[in-house]
Amino acid sequence: MSTRRQDRLLSVLLREDAWITGPRLADLLGVTPRSVRAYVTALNARVPDGEAVVSGAAGYRAGASARAALAAKAGADSTPRARLHGLVRSLLDDEAGINVFDTADRLHVSEATLEADLARVRSLLDGTRLTLERDRDVVRLRGAERDQRRLLSRLAHDEMDAADFPVDPFRLALAGGTIPPDAVGPFKDGLVSALGRLGYYVNELAIADVLLHIAIAADRVAAGRALDGADRSHGAESGSAADPVAEAIRTLAREQLGVELGDEDLAHLARLVLTRIVTPGGADPAELARAGLDAEVEAAVRAEVVQASSDYQVDLVDDAFILRLALHVQNLRRRAQEESRARNPLTRSLKAAYPMIFEVAVSVVSGLQERLGLRVDDDEIAYVAMHIGGRLERSRRAETLLTATIVCPGYYELHEVLRSRVDHSLGQGIEVVRVITAMDPRESEIDSDLVLTTVPLPAAADRAVLIQPFLTDADVERVQQTAARLRRARRLARLREELSRYLSEDAFVHPLPDVGEEGIIRLLGGRLVEAGLIGEDYIENTIQRERLSSTAFSDALAVPHALQMTARRTAIAVGVAAGSVAWGSGRVQVVALAAFSEHDREAFQTVFEQLVEVFGEGESVQRIVRRGTTFTGFLDELVAVIDG
């Protein structure tokens, strides 16, 4: 029975924090409802004195002992993955090598099993510049110390990625070493303070990964495995900026970790800090340029930002923004040269909550790959998306701003006090355009999105909110709820209008075969090719975009598309799975291949973001999937969900 699927089931229940039906869980996991019941039984068996999963008429939900069950993986040390990682750690720790027979006895496996594990170790070492050497019964790991540390870091990250719940990377990487994992916290506090005194902004999202490298370095140095000149990375730089950072690391390592780091280790770790977690504190663009920004990087970033601004009709062209993003990309380039990466714990949530911003980031990164030869992953794209999101936040607020009319019968300055209170409490999302002091205003006077009235008002009842003359917290909450409902209705009304134009029965597939991303893209794209709406090149470009970053923006929906808007006419081909299909590292239930024409740039944002929003709601997804087995049924259910 798959413990990985058990953990994923429990993670879904914890994330949703609500009742979920057995069939829906089965679809999300790609198994049968019977398997779901077996997983629930196994999960509850992990915590005999508690309840990991609660069962009921409405399905399943996480129990009080859910997190304890995630942490209690029965027999985890004996799994092939855990055994493989343990074997690699033994090879990393012992320069003299390990004896095959003794190791098999220690792990309680046969010699044949250990030989198979060694074959898997060799596969794991592909592309790492590390090799296994064998002298009869003794196997040794050979390679530069820097590459051995990188492998140790990779093992910790692999174990974190494989886990469906948060795990401590420092306990994984420092297991059996001389550096106590509990010492990393005080070291981090000291490092952040020191960097702040040096005038840097610290990226808290990426600092855990750098701390992992520092902890591994300290542990290896304590074991007599320091870096030397032969370990220096290609293109390594030194300079005045690194010197104070290196000195801060030296002092903290001595005081907090009890280790004296050498010059090579300090230079390497200072470079990691400077390229992965800090930004110069000055906001002046000229100061950023003086920070050593490469002219080639700046020109490439500027060109891609200008192109994305035009393609997606967003306001990104700003010197300060471009220079900050260019500085980030320069660090990204240096990370790529050192074969290191900056992980982003917000990648999944950013992708699901802000698909359009993430898409603009994908476009920018795609262009930078061609111009600068970068190789990036979703985590790096998410950091670029955070830069872009910060720049677009002001314009996005303007797009969601609702207008309001205040109706407050005149009595001294009462209406003025009310308006001031509304502006103060609701001004970020609502703009007051008119104040009416009459008891019975004419309907023609009210043309705003919202009406905030202190007297019952038959006119515009659907958008009127009754409030007190002296605005209360309850009034503010009601207005915010009504505003949110109106914004959603406005967004989804646009989506309904666009979808009615772009969907067709000829481009609908049910059941969608589970043949992988590329197979599904070719299947759905073929329908649009047959209709004469796109060429074969659009399918290839869509596959290329998918390889850059998965277009599964939720647990239910993937929206594959090309970055180029070259369709003859905008159209969407839809495939609905009978259960779910594999997509990237997860599974989805609906795939909507979107092909946009040059003339529908504005529609791209509407369809893209709002479609992801609709399919991000679990109950709505199940309603559409269960009843949408035909094109008519799918469209009817989709419209019904949009209309609420």
Pairing mode, strands 131-135 and 586-595: unpaired
Greatest CA span in the chain, whole angstroms? 99
Question: What burial class does residue 77 get, using C-beta atoms within 10 Å of its C-beta: 0-12 exposed, 13-18 middle, 19+ buried?
Answer: exposed
Measured over the CA atoms of residue 474, residue 478, residue 483 and residue 485, the dihedral's sign is positive
- Give the residue among 577, 544, 539, 578 at the shortest CA–CA distance from 558: 577
Least confident of 126-130, 165-169, 314-318, 374-378: 165-169
CA distance 301 to 371: 9
User: CA dist 640 to 16, 608, 614, 637, Å?
Assistant: 23, 19, 11, 5
Q: What is the mean pLDDT of residues 474-482?
A: 88
User: With DSSP H G I counted as helix, E B as strand and the rest as coil, what are the percentages for the chain, rounded to 5?
Assistant: 60, 10, 30
Domain boundaries, the chain: 3-74, 181-280, 294-384, 401-471, 494-643
Is residue 114 predicted with pLDDT exceeding 50? yes
Is residue 74 predicted with pLDDT exceeding 50? no
Residue 384, pLDDT score? 92
Q: In the structure, what pLDDT confidence band is assigned to residue 172 with cuts at 50, 70 and 90?
A: low
Average pLDDT score, the chain = 83
CA distance 430 to 422: 9
Is residue 237 predicted with pLDDT exceeding 80? no
Residue 559, pLDDT score? 92
Q: Decide whether 181-280 matches 294-384 in CATH topology.
A: yes
Backbone region of residue 484 per phi and psi (left: phi > 0; alpha: psi in -120 to 50; beta: other values): alpha
CA distance 266 to 260: 10
Decide if 455 contacts 439 (C-beta within 8 A).
Answer: yes
Residue 284, pLDDT score? 57
Question: What burial class does residue 639 get, using C-beta atoms within 10 Å of its C-beta: 0-12 exposed, 13-18 middle, 19+ buried?
Answer: middle
Q: What is the mean pLDDT of residues 377-401?
A: 79
CB atoms within 10 A of CB 338: 18
Residue 610, pLDDT score? 76
Measured over the CA atoms of residue 174, residue 178, residue 183 and residue 184, the dihedral's sign is negative
Residue 238, pLDDT score? 47
CB atoms within 10 A of CB 134: 11
Strand segments, DSSP code E, in 499-563 are 503-509, 557-558
User: CA dist 296 to 306, 339, 340, 420, Å?
Assistant: 16, 21, 22, 51
What are the residues facing 465 on neighbouring strands?
Answer: 452
Structure tokens at 644: 């609420």
Least confident of 67-71, 304-308, 532-536, 557-561: 67-71
Which superfamily does CATH assign the domain made up of 494-643 to?
Answer: Mannitol-specific EII; Chain A (3.40.930.10)
How confident is the model over 256-277, as pLDDT tens digits?
A: 988 999 988 998 888 888 888 7
Q: What is the mean pLDDT of residues 303-320?
A: 89
How confident is the model over 130-153, as pLDDT tens digits?
A: 999 998 889 999 988 888 888 888
CATH class of 3-74: mainly alpha
Is residue 244 predicted with pLDDT exceeding 80? yes
CATH class of 294-384: mainly alpha
How confident is the model over 549-581, as pLDDT tens digits?
A: 999 988 889 999 999 888 998 899 999 998 889
Q: In the structure, what pLDDT confidence band is assigned to residue 180 with cuts at 50, 70 and 90?
A: confident
How confident is the model over 150-165, as pLDDT tens digits?
A: 888 887 777 666 655 5
Structure tokens at 473: 């917290």
Question: What burial class does residue 219 get, using C-beta atoms within 10 Å of its C-beta: 0-12 exposed, 13-18 middle, 19+ buried?
Answer: buried
- Give the residue among 135, 130, 164 at the shortest CA–CA distance from 149: 130
Is residue 591 predicted with pLDDT exceeding 60? yes
How confident is the model over 56-70, as pLDDT tens digits?
A: 988 999 998 888 887
- Cis peptide bond upstream of 441, omega within 30: no
Q: What is the mean pLDDT of residues 315-325?
A: 87
- Give the residue among 225, 230, 240, 244 at the shortest CA–CA distance from 141: 225
Residue 232, pLDDT score? 54
CA distance 440 to 590: 51
- Give the residue among 210, 173, 182 at the shortest CA–CA distance from 88: 173
Question: What burial class does residue 412 get, using C-beta atoms within 10 Å of its C-beta: 0-12 exposed, 13-18 middle, 19+ buried?
Answer: exposed
| Alpha helix (H) residue ranges in 339-413 | 347-353, 355-372, 378-400
> Phi and psi for 566 in degrees, rounded to 5?
-115, 10
Residue 307, pLDDT score? 93
User: CA dist 220 to 93, 191, 212, 470, Å?
Assistant: 9, 20, 12, 66
Query: What is the 3 state secondary structure string of 193-252?
Result: HHHHHCCEEECCCCHHHHHHHHHHHHHHHHCCCCCCHHHCCCCCCCCCCHHHHHHHHHHH
Decide if 558 contacts 551 (C-beta within 8 A).
Answer: yes
Residue 80, pLDDT score? 72
Half-sphere exposure of 227 (CA within 13 A, CB side): 22
Q: How is domain 181-280 classified at the CATH fold level?
A: PTS-regulatory domain, PRD (1.10.1790)
DSSP per residue, 275-288: HHTEEES---HHHH
Decide if 555 contacts 586 (C-beta within 8 A).
Answer: yes
DSSP per residue, 441-507: --GGG--SSEEEESS---TTGGGEEE--SS--HHHHHHHHHHHHHHHHHHHHHHHHHHHHHHEEEEE
Higher pLDDT, 173 or 344: 344
Decide if 557 contacts 589 (C-beta within 8 A).
Answer: yes
CA angle 521, 526, 532 (to 5 degrees): 130
